[in-house]
Structure 1
Amino acid sequence: MSKVVLITGGSSGIGKAIGEFLFDKGFTVYGTSRNPEKITNSVFPLIALDVRNAESIKQAVEKVISISKRIDVVINNAGVGITGPIEETPTDEMRNNFETNFFGPIEVIKAVLPQMREQKSGLIINITSIAGYMGLPYRGIYSASKGALEIVSEAISMEVKGFGINITNVAPGDFATKIASGRYHAPLIIGSAYEIPYGNTLSQMDEHVESGSNPDEMAMAIYQIINEKNPKLHYKIGAFMQKFSIILKRILPDRIYESVLMNHYKL
C-alpha cells in the first residue's frame, strides 16, 4: 500500500517538486493551494487550504482522510518571505508572516495528529530555512518565524514520539523558486537611513534565489528522509557555504560572526 502524503503549498516551487517526485515514486500525493482551481498543470490532486485559516485546514485534512482513510506523511511546506528594516516593516506584515510560517504549520500538525495517533504512525516534515539558524539583516522576521518553527518542533517531537509519530525539520538554503516575487518587501523609502544598505541587500538576496539550487535536490532529500527508519530531528539542504555558516555561528564569538555576515552583505 502506497504511503499517503499531504503537502501544503504544493502548487509551485519546492512543494510542487516534492509532490511530483513522490508521485512518480508511487506515493499517493495530495497537494494544497489557496486557489487550486487556478492550477491546471498539477500531476497530483490539489485541495483548497489556507494555512492562516484553521477551518480550512480541518476541512482539507478531513477530505484526505475520507478519500484515503489515512495520512502517513505531512509536509509543512507553505510559507512566505518578508524583507525590510525592522523599523520600517509594518507590524501587521510581521504578524501575517508568523501566521503563515509558524502558526499555520502548528495548526496543520494539530489537525493531523488525531489520525496519526489512531494509526500509531506518522511523519511530519516541517520545511524551515537555513535562515532560521541566524538573524539575517533585513530578513529578521523571516529568520525568526522559521527559527521558531524549528524550536517548537523539538518540543512537539518529544510530546508525540510515544504515539509512533516522528517530527523532523528540513532547512533549505537558497533554491531557484518564485519566493522572491511572492515575498512581502517593505517599501524602499527614498531618503531613509536604510535606503542604500537595504536596497543593496535586497538586490543581493534576489540574486541568491535566482542562482539557487534545483528544487529537485529538496525532493530527493525528502524522499530519502521518508524512507529512513529513524529520521533525524534536523536536516540542512543547500550549498556547502550556506550549511557551513551554521557551523561558523556555533564556533565563532558572536561579534566576529556578526562581522562576517555584515561583510557578506556589504553593510
Structure 2
Amino acid sequence: MKKVVLVTGGSSGIGKSIALQLQGSGYKVYGTSRNPQNYPESPFDLIAMDVQDEDSIRQGISQIIQAESKIDVLINNAGVGITGPMEETPIDAVKNAMDTNFYGPLRVIQAVLPHMRERREGRIINITSIAGYMGLPYRGVYSASKGALEIATEAYRLECAHLNIHFSNVAPGDFATNIAAGRFHAPVTEGSDYAAGYSHTLKLIDDHVDDGNDPIEVAYKIEEILKEQSPGIHYKVGSFMQKFSIVLKKLLPEKTYERMLKKHYGL
C-alpha cells in the first residue's frame, strides 16, 4: 500500500513542491488549502483546511481517514510571514502569526496523533525556519513563532518515541516562493524611530527571497528524511551562509554575533 502523506499549506511554495515531489515518488499525497476551489487543476488531492479552525482540521483529517484508513506522514508546512518593529507590531497581528505558525501545527498534530498511535507508526515533520534559531530584527515575531515550534517538536519527539512515531524539524532558509505576497507588514508609524532600519531590512528580506534557491531542495530533503529508519531532530536547508549562521551563533561570543547581525542588516 502507498504511504499516505498530508502536507498542510500545499497549494503553493514549499508545500506544493513537497507534495509534487512525494507524489512523483509514489506516495499518496493530500495537500491542504483554506480555499481548494481556487486550485481546480491541482495535480494532487487538495482538501479544505484552516489550521486556525479545529472543526476544519477534524473534518479534513476525517476525510483522509475515510478514504485511506490511515495517515502515515504529516508535514506541517502551513504558515504566514510577518514583519515589523517589535514595539509597533499590533498584538492582534502577533496573535494571528502565532495562531498559524505555532498553534496551527499543534492542532493538526493533536488531530493526527490518535490515528498514528492506534497503528503504532508515523512520521511528523514540522517546517520551521532558520530564522527560528535567532531573533532577527524586524522579524522577531516570525522568529519567535518558528523557534517555539522547534522546541515543541523536541518535546513531542521524546514523548512519542515509545509509540514508534518520529518527529523532526526542517528549517529552510530563503527560497524563491510567493511568501512575500501574503506577508503581514506592520505599518510604520509617523515619526517612528524604526523607519529607516525597517525599510532597509524589508528590502534585504525581499532580495533574499527573490534570489533564493528553488524550493524543490526542501522537497528533496523531506524525501531523504522519510527514507531514514531513525530520522534526526533538526535539519537545515538553505545556502551555506544561512546554515553556517546557526553554527556561528553557537561558537561566537553573544555580543560578537550580535554585532555581526547588526552589520548585515545595516543597523
1: distance between equivalents of 2:81 and 2:52? 15
- 8 Å contact kept, 1:97–1:141: yes
2: distance between equivalents of 1:172 and 1:97? 18
**Secondary structure of 2:87's aligned partner:** helix
Q: How does 1:183-198 map to 2 (within 5 A)?
A: 183-198=183-198
**TM-score normalised by the chain length of structure 1:** 0.99
- 8 Å contact kept, 1:13–1:215: yes
- 8 Å contact kept, 1:85–1:194: yes
CA shift for structure 1 position 124: 0.2
2: distance between equivalents of 1:40 and 1:16? 14
1:66-113 CA distance string (max 9 Å, x none): 000100000000000100001110000001000000000001100001
Structure 1 stretch 134-143 or stretch 186-195: which is displaced more? 186-195
CA shift for structure 1 position 189: 3.4
Could you tell me which residue of structure 2 aligns to residue 161 of structure 1? 161
**Secondary structure of 1:148's aligned partner:** helix
Could you tell me which residue of structure 1 aligns to residue 219 of structure 2? 219
Q: How does 1:59-78 map to 2 (within 5 A)?
A: 59-78=59-78
Q: How does 1:187-266 map to 2 (within 5 A)?
A: 187-266=187-266
1:26-66 CA distance string (max 9 Å, x none): 11000000000111231101010000011111111111010
1: distance between equivalents of 2:130 and 2:112? 26
**Secondary structure of 1:201's aligned partner:** helix
Number of aligned residue pairs: 267
Could you tell me which residue of structure 1 aligns to residue 50 of structure 2? 50
Q: Percent identity?
A: 58
Could you tell me which residue of structure 2 aligns to residue 116 of structure 1? 116
**TM-score normalised by the chain length of structure 2:** 0.99
- 8 Å contact kept, 1:188–1:199: no
CA shift for structure 1 position 188: 2.8
1: distance between equivalents of 2:221 and 2:186? 33
2: distance between equivalents of 1:185 and 1:147? 20
Structure 1 stretch 179-188 or stretch 29-38: which is displaced more? 179-188
Could you tell me which residue of structure 2 aligns to residue 89 of structure 1? 89
2: distance between equivalents of 1:185 and 1:167? 32
Q: Which stretches in structure 1 are left out of the alignment for 5+ residues?
A: none
Could you tell me which residue of structure 2 aligns to residue 140 of structure 1? 140
- Output the aligned Cα RMSD: 0.7
1: distance between equivalents of 2:265 and 2:16? 31
CA shift for structure 1 position 190: 4.3
Runs of 4+ displaced beyond 3 Å: none
